[in-house]
Amino acid sequence: MEIVITKENFDAEVRNYKGTVLLDFWAGWCGPCMMLSPVVSEIAKDLDGHVKVGKVNVDEQPELSRAFRVESIPLLVVVKDGVIQNQSVGVIPKNSILEMLK
């Protein structure tokens, strides 16, 4: 299951969450984001109950974009127990995303 992450729910869903969160920073006008989105959705289904998947629309959440210093999208960020562990910019294959989550 994918969760829409906003500045209002960020603390509860990401910062204070005990476990792994995959954040997908994206925008509707971004072609590579649209290519990556189905892969992220598939991972969300495959790892439901093990990894939380959050979607951050950079146009709607400029504060979160600044906080994560987003310069290019799509940006995937892995957060474990509130700490950034890994990140990747651009379209990458599913197996690479799964490696990031280990």
Q: Which of 63, 31, 29, 26 is nearest to 41 (CA)?
A: 26
Active-site residues: which are they? 30, 33
14, 15, 21, 24: CA torsion to nearest 10? 70
Strand arrangement, sheet containing 20-26: 2-4, 51-57, 20-26, 75-80, 83-89
Provide the 8-state DSSP code for 18: S
